[in-house]
Amino acid sequence: MGRPAAVLASGAALTVLCGCTVQASGEGQRTPVRIELPSGTPSAKPAPPDDKPSSTPTPPAPAVLWSRGDEGRDIRELQARLRQIAWLFDGPTGTYDDLTEQAVRGFQGKRGLPRTGKTDEVTWQRLLKMTREPGKWDLYLMGGQEADAPDARCLTGRVLCISKSSRTLRWMIDGRTVMTVPVRFGSQYTPTREGVFSVYWKSRHHVSTLYDSPMPYAMFFSGGQAVHYSSDFAATGYAGASHGCVNVRDERAIAEMFAQVRTGDKVVVHW
């Protein structure tokens, strides 16, 4: 009995090592048990976690709305809003010039924005929150507006056709506009008279005896009211008013007009 038992024991050991199925013989047979040996190649270990934080993509730069060289009504609004908060003192001109670029750069730097001098979406939104909607004469503070259609009374003869609606003066001959300039009128306390008049006196170097102020290139049409050059209008635009005269801010243009207008030419002041 000793030898067969040893043979059986060795066989069982060999079976375990070979990974085969072991079955018991005779009655009371049990469910086979399968024993697997580990393979010779170890399973790969999971990669250690990356200690470096994942890189976040750089957000795109805000879109540029306007930059140097751009022109138009939007540039006037930009300049008018910059004037409100004292970053710009000239204009509005409607042209994105070097002064506008410097003003935008200063505004950006003051608020921690990139100092590009270009008006991007972020800069514009910040400016909108700090300013009010500019009115028409804020946008055209220094002139540049279009003239409205001439009054019917201006379509014949030689006429200084002056519109209070568009704040412009057309110098017209036989229905043709020779030149157009922006003009300024009297305040509510000293309004410019409306109607049809004629030039009754011209005075190149006139000085007002009532207000002791210069009135160069004066062309009188109603009492003491005249069309003349105004250095104040040239400096401050529509922020001021006259004492009833029609002010012109373009000295070159009124000098040329003064040379052409004759005593007796018609003057029409209308809405």
What are the catalytic residues?
228, 245
The three-class DSSP label of residue 68 is coil
Are the CB atoms for 98 and 68 separated by under 8 Å? yes
Mark 54-68 as b/e (b = at least 16 C-beta within 10 Å): eeeeeeeebeeebee
User: How many CA atoms within 13 Å lie on the side-chain side of 227?
Assistant: 35
Residue tagged 């910059």 (tokens):
82
Are the CB atoms for 265 and 197 separated by under 8 Å? no
The three-class DSSP label of residue 202 is strand
> What is the C-alpha separation between 260 and 171, in angstroms, rounded?
9
Tell which phi-psi region holds residue 196, choosing left (phi > 0), alpha (psi between -120 and 50) or beta.
beta
